[in-house]
Homo-oligomer: A and B are copies of this chain.
Amino acid sequence: MRRMTARPANAHQARLLKLLRDGGANSRAQLGDQVDLSRSKLAVEVDRLLETGLIVADGLAASRGGRRSHNIRLAPNLRFLGVDIGATSVDVAVTNAELEILGHLNQPMDVREGPVAVFEQVLSMAAKLRASGLAEGFDGAGIGVPGPVRFPEGVPVAPPIMPGWDGFPVREALSQELGCPVMVDNDVNLMAMGEMHAGVARSVGDFLCVKIGTGIGCGIVAGGEVHRGVTGSAGDIGHIQAVPDGRPCACGNRGCLEAHFSGAALARDAVEAVEQGRSEELAARRTANGGLTAADVAAAAAAGDPTALDLIREGGNRTGQVIAGLVSFFNPGLVVIGGGVTGLGHTLLAAIRTQVYRQSLPLATGNLPIVLGELGPTAGVIGAARLISDHLFSPA
């Protein structure tokens, strides 16, 4: 089953592979422009990579006024699997070595059913993608899970919303099943890596990536590297106190951000509003769908329902207050908002921006874009593919 037999033998080769992956170059000459190596040394390393099969030279590019260059690219048959496990659904995608998505499946799922059931589903989705001819096998897989991960071992630790996953050897188990190397990380970190690789955060070294879905979390990128913290729980901002003596939270405290704003909280607030007779629009949707979700609130807001807009604005304000504190603390160059609730769009963004620009110091906000993520639901799987690709494209 294992397909990718070789790994780069040194830092030069790793650098070259990443340049090819990230579209920085596609010929020997272009590679030479970006790495500080003599042409001779470059030729040696390229030849060695060609021998390993990690890259291929096929065809000639058009001339630019002189001898035509060989097209150098990553092996076209390399395939990475990106898996993004959420609280209530799972994304599985196949990418090529350039991390372009070749196929993507999304299915509803419940993490609470535990790792065994979830992985059964993930594996069948992967099999389906493979059966459709997108891949003969996988050279590596990246997995995102909605909770803290002991990163070096790839094991979730004390995940609040994933009972039954605590200590489960995700990396090892999936590596066995898939027959390829696997890396595991928090889903929010992967979203950040996705946006850094192919989204709005391209070429930004220090940024925050706030993911608002069923829960709420924050990917932290410092100096181009994801900051995971000493126990892998960095970015867990859902339980920062947003409202003194506020709503009770599942964690036992009161006033946690997540208790006041998240997909779950929003749905609950919408139901409450309906029961208090504050919104006909939402009431109608509740009757039609037999319940309310964050998406319903988004739709109602889009339809102009003032109560829905109020709910979103208030949540955005709460979130914005917390983010304002983080901006003062971390001084990022960009804040990305993503996750399931991005459907709430500009109402949400406006509320967040207002709070951040008002509460943080001018020096920190002066040139600070706060934007929605560009990749939407694919950020996670792209980040996952990036994670394993970074690993495999590093010297063994």
Using a CB–CB distance below 8 Å, which chain A residues touch chain B?
148, 157-158, 160, 205-206, 218, 220, 222-223, 225, 227-237, 239-241, 244, 251, 253, 321-322, 324-326, 328-333, 358-364, 366-367
Contacts and interface: CB of A to CB of B under 8 A. Distances in A.
Given A231-B366, A364-B236, A253 B358 contact: yes
B157 A363 contact: yes
Question: Which secondary structure characterizes the binding site on chain A?
Answer: loop
A225 B363 CA distance: 22
Contact of A330 (B229, B251, B324): B229
B227 A363 contact: no
A233 B326 contact: no
B328 A239 contact: yes
Among A232, A241, A329, A359, which residue has the most Cβ atoms of chain B within 10 A? A329
Given A236-B364, A253-B359, A325-B322, A227 B330 contact: yes
Given A222-B227, A241-B324, A234 B329 contact: yes
A158 to B, nearest CB: 5
A331 B362 contact: no
A147 to B, nearest CB: 9
A358 B160 CA distance: 16
Nearest to A235: B329
Contacts of A158: 362-363
Contact of A363 (B231, B240, B253, B359): B231
B321 A234 contact: no
Nearest to A237: B329
A333 B326 CA distance: 18
B364 A229 contact: yes
A329 B329 contact: yes
A328 B364 contact: no
Contacts of A236: 328-329, 331, 361, 363-364
Contacts of A218: 329
A226 B157 CA distance: 27
B332 A230 contact: yes
Contacts of A332: 229-230
A229 B325 contact: no
B223 A225 contact: yes
Contact of A237 (B223, B241, B253, B328): B328
A366 B148 CA distance: 14
A192 to B, nearest CB: 14
B233 A363 contact: yes
Pairs of residues from A and B, 9 with the lowest C-beta to C-beta distance, nearest first: A229-B331, A234-B331, A230-B333, A240-B325, A158-B363, A233-B363, A233-B331, A233-B364, A240-B328
A359 B223 contact: no
A330 B324 CA distance: 15
Given A223-B227, A237-B325, A239-B328, 6 more contacts: A157-B363, A220-B329, A229-B332, A234-B329, A240-B324, A322-B325
